[in-house]
Amino acid sequence: VEAVVIVLARRDGRVILPDLADLMAQFGSTTETWLEFEFLMKSAPEASIRQVPEELEAMRQQASDTGGIGAIKNEIQRAFAPFHDPQWRRVLSPPFDLAPEDLVVGDSPPYLVTVAESKDFAAVSAPILRAIFTAFSIAKRKRPPNETREQFWLLDEIGNIGKWPMAVELATFGAGYGIRPAYVVQSTAQLDSLAPRASEIIPNSCGTQIYTGIRSLPQAQLVSRILGQTTLEYDDFTRQEAARAAKSKALMDAMLGDGDVMSAMMAAAHQDRLAGHKSKMARALRTPDELLREETGRAIVVMPGTLPQPFYARIKPYWQRRDLAGAYLADRFHAKPDTVEIATRWRQRHRRIITTKAPRALRDWPQYRDTVQWYYVKGYKP
């Protein structure tokens, strides 16, 4: 694939993913389009590129294309299958609204770029999503961090896109490129689908770790170990009562004159101290079962190297925060139709979603290309 991309870029001056997918669909065939492209590969200065058409010719001379380059051919065609979807082809074909280089222009205005895909299609669209992230990363890495605005990448449910070793690279080296990533996953085990040992490497590279809504025993055990142990003091009534009894006997011995009075008084003082002594025991700061029963809205925040110990935070849902009222629209799965729940000065209320035409000054924006509908919360018109 690398060989094809290099030759295609030299021929056309750019690589468009649908065009690449169409070409790779003919990979190793005897169509006129592919044979002409194969001739270009034979003329490439790189030996690694010239080797590809040579292996393809050897494959065509065999009775079957199983094994070797034939297996590679089948794997390539499976990998490029998502690029044949009509909707993806439309959004991945020119003209484009945004180039990765737009985000690294010196003194550029801040951008908010959202790359979203339904979980139902995340696995199928994963190659395209990875290509988009890689393009943004390369554009940022080509420019010195001090010449461009720092980028914050919020990677929500990123484990759903499957194998993506770049996620580990972002965690370990991203700060050096000016990219600050944040990973949001159901559990740290979900990170292992990205790369081997990612559940260990990524948290170890993050300056802040937030654990909330723990529902699995392995995750609870992990957080319990992170929090460590504490020492508790308690009254051991059996030992204290035994010390009081020994003290009384020592005092009786001193008063009755049995034995050495000084030794009896010293023994009484010793037993008096034991009677007030508290026993100590070590235990987990939070046990796994306590973490599993944690109340909603609580989080444990760990900031190694910044805070000497974790802290226990209360997190209010966004619909209960007055400062976020009007900043979000309705959730069609939870809210009443055409309404949204917001926090007001007195209590929670449901406000109507207003639908109107977008102002003329905004109608050239990409989101209004197919529709001019504009939505906002009543009382919070932008």
95 prior amide bond cis, ω within 30: yes
Q: Give the pair of three-digit tokens for residue 149.
A: 């605005």
Indicate the helix (H) or strand (E) that contains 299: strand 298-302
Predicted confidence (pLDDT) per residue in 124-179, tens digit = 888 888 888 999 999 998 888 778 888 999 999 888 888 999 999 999 988 888 89
Residue linked to tokens 């935070």: 313
Predicted confidence (pLDDT) per residue in 299-316, tens digit = 999 998 888 889 999 998
Tell which residue, 219, 117, 211, has the closest CA to residue 162: 117
Tell which residue, 74, 40, 42, has the closest CA to residue 55: 42
Whether 223 shows a pLDDT value over 80: the answer reads: yes
Predicted confidence (pLDDT) per residue in 294-353, tens digit = 888 899 999 988 888 899 999 988 889 999 999 998 776 666 778 899 998 888 988 999
Residues 170, 179 contacting (CB under 8 angstroms): yes
Q: What is the mean pLDDT of the chain?
A: 85
Helical spans, DSSP H, in the chain: 2-12, 17-25, 32-42, 47-61, 69-79, 86-91, 119-141, 166-177, 198-205, 217-227, 237-256, 261-275, 288-292
Whether 241 shows a pLDDT value over 70: the answer reads: no
Q: Kindly give, in sequence order, each residue whose CB lies less than 8 Å from that of residue 38, ignoring residues fewer than 6 positions away.
A: 53, 56
Distance CA 287, CA 285 (A): 7
- The residues facing 348 across adjacent strands are 343
Residues 368, 346 contacting (CB under 8 angstroms): no
Predicted confidence (pLDDT) per residue in 48-85, tens digit = 999 999 888 888 777 555 556 777 888 888 888 888 88
Tell which residue, 118, 121, 149, has the closest CA to residue 136: 149
> Residue 89's CB: how many other CB atoms inside 10 A?
17
Q: What is the pTM of this model?
A: 0.75
Tell me the torsion sign for CA atoms 232, 236, 240, 242. Answer: negative
Distance CA 339, CA 332 (A): 9
Q: Is 228 left (phi over 0), alpha (psi -120 to 50) or beta?
A: left
